[in-house]
Amino acid sequence: MGYALVQGASRGIGLQFCRHLLNRRPTTFVIATCRQPDSAAELQSLLKEYPARLQIMQLDVSNEEKIASTAREVKEHLHGNKSKGLDLLINCAGMLHPSGRGETSLKAVSQEGLMSTFATNAFGPLLMAKYFGEHLTKGSGEFGQPSSDTSSHSGVLVNMSARVGSISDNGYGGWYSYRMSKSALNMASKNLSIEFSRGRRKVICISLHPGTVDTDLSRPYHKNVPVDKLFTSEYSVETMMKVIENLTVEDSGKFFDFDGKEIPF
């Protein structure tokens, strides 16, 4: 049995990743983490449907101690099930800004807005890598493909980024907290790819843009998005899973669009 952990699984894209993995990969056990499991109604319904292959754990990604204790719990769980490690970790939790809307000008920038957006979008995923990296180095390479040379990988770490985090692609400005936090996340992915390439058990680490997806996060902007450019979470996750399934060690450290095209940093 393979093990996947989806961090930020209560709603939107994270919830859909859980649903997809449970529906499509009958040999994958899914650990879904979220801030408030009791009020994550759709995740709880999934648990009723898949009680033997889904475990829900409470985790706020802005709380380092909680990340550390959850990593210990997951280790016990894996060992209890005679599994060596984690095959896939998807850092999905994210926020546009505490106000729900990105800043349109400097006047709207605040220390509090920057701090909380960075805590969730950039620091949290890096701390997840710190505490769950060891589990990923013990994965069995269930996700991704063998490399063309002799290097093999154990686990895959996906950081859910956003195209607006690309510095070279920034044509409009604005959204200071969100853009900067996703650029920082991309740097974390690149750094992690270098550190995780050194060991014998390599971990592939990428940043991934899901497209513009019909979720709560993008809702305030839906009217500006052409209908054919606003994806359902089902479509976005289906295409992103194809990218994940096809990753090799050579892809590590890169930033990909939902359909596998590389995005320049």
Rule CB under 6 A: which residues touch ligand NAP?
8, 10-14, 34-36, 60-62, 92-95, 120, 160, 162, 209-210, 212-213, 215-218
Give the shortest CB-216-to-ligand NAP separation in angstroms.
4
Q: What amino acid is encoded at 161 in this protein?
A: S
d(CA 154, CA 144): 9
Give the shortest CB-185-to-ligand NAP separation in angstroms.
8
Helix (H, G, I), strand (E, B) or coil at 12: helix
Cα of first residue to Cα of last residue in the chain, in angstroms, is 35
d(CA 152, CA 141): 8
Question: Residue 112 or 149: which CB sits closer to ligand NAP?
Answer: 112
Q: Is 33 left (phi over 0), alpha (psi -120 to 50) or beta?
A: beta
Question: Residue 189 or 218: which CB sits closer to ligand NAP?
Answer: 218
Give, to the nearest 10 degrees, the angle between helix 176-195 and helix 124-136.
20
Question: Residue 119 or 204: which CB sits closer to ligand NAP?
Answer: 119
Question: Residue 95 or 127: which CB sits closer to ligand NAP?
Answer: 95
DSSP 167: S
Give the shortest CB-262-to-ligand NAP separation in angstroms.
16
Give the shortest CB-124-to-ligand NAP separation in angstroms.
6
Question: Residue 3 or 118: which CB sits closer to ligand NAP?
Answer: 118
Question: Residue 165 or 202: which CB sits closer to ligand NAP?
Answer: 165
Give the shortest CB-178-to-ligand NAP separation in angstroms.
7
DSSP 221: G
Question: Residue 108 or 225: which CB sits closer to ligand NAP?
Answer: 225
Inter-residue contact 197 to 127 (CB < 8 Å): no
Give the shortest CB-141-to-ligand NAP separation in angstroms.
25
Q: What is the dihedral of CA 116, 127, 13, 154, to 10 degrees?
A: 170
DSSP H/E element including 202? strand 202-208
Cβ neighbours for 235, distance < 8 A, ≥ 6 positions apart = none
Give the shortest CB-182-to-ligand NAP separation in angstroms.
7
Q: How far is CA 78 from CA 87, 144, 190, 219, in A?
A: 11, 20, 28, 37
